[in-house]
Amino acid sequence: MDAIGKVTASIASATQETTIALANANFDMSLIRIEAPAEYKPLGMALSKSKRNVAEDGPAHVTARRLGSLFQSMLPETPNLIKAYGIRASEIAQSPVVNPKGTDAHGPFKDYVGVDGTSIWAAATSGSAAIAAHLLACFIATYWPADEATAIWVELVAERKRRLQAKAAPAEYFDLSDTLSTKLELDQTHLANWDASARSWLRAAGDSPAVSARQKTVRSILDRLNITVRGQQDLYTSVIEA
């Protein structure tokens, strides 16, 4: 019986390794673009062509897809939040104050004028988990400077991969998407750019006449509440719970 168990475990391990190898060779989830939710489409239309191209086919899209894939299996369903955020983001992007259009007067920089909604549109065309990753980027960018925020992202990604690898290692049956996610590259440059785009969006959103008054009211309420990231030594657990 012991020999049979060893053979079974060996076959399971070989099957897992073969499946992962074939998937990695033939399929990169980062290249897939999905239809954005209807609430986000006005945002996409309001972006400059260059920003939309980067969000749909460039590095920002790769990062959005990979972050979404990495955290997808642990996220709750939040359709109302996703919908409400799309409506608000589109409202902001359509404001000429926040998102001016490039003209011939801008010369070669014409197509680069306007709000940086790259990370949002990249997320919207990558699925709800990627939108959650964008919202987390906004959350982190609000409270930490760029260098610390990037360091937090690096640690979050490394710890998430470690936990998924530990979960899959002894299992005869495993979640293929989770296992593949641990193989996707997300280096410091990816994460720094992800943070920078979210940071730029937050600055623009704060200047929007459509939301500035409401934002001040919400912030005054939040400032009176005792809501903090738990002071645990484990950064991953603290941030994910928050």
Q: Is residue 3 part of a domain?
A: no
Range of the structural domain that residue 189 is part of? 29-241
Residue type, 198: A
Q: Is residue 5 part of a domain?
A: no
Q: Is residue 219 part of a domain?
A: yes
Q: Is residue 77 part of a domain?
A: yes
| Cβ contact 168:174 at 8 Å | yes
Mean pLDDT of the chain: 79
Q: Is residue 6 part of a domain?
A: no
Rounded CA gap, 12 and 152, in Å?
A: 35
Residue type, 170: P
- pLDDT tens-digit series, residues 174-205: 566 666 767 788 899 999 999 999 999 998 88
Q: Is residue 98 part of a domain?
A: yes
The structural domain count of the chain equals 1
- pLDDT tens-digit series, residues 3-47: 444 434 444 444 445 444 444 433 455 667 889 999 999 999 999
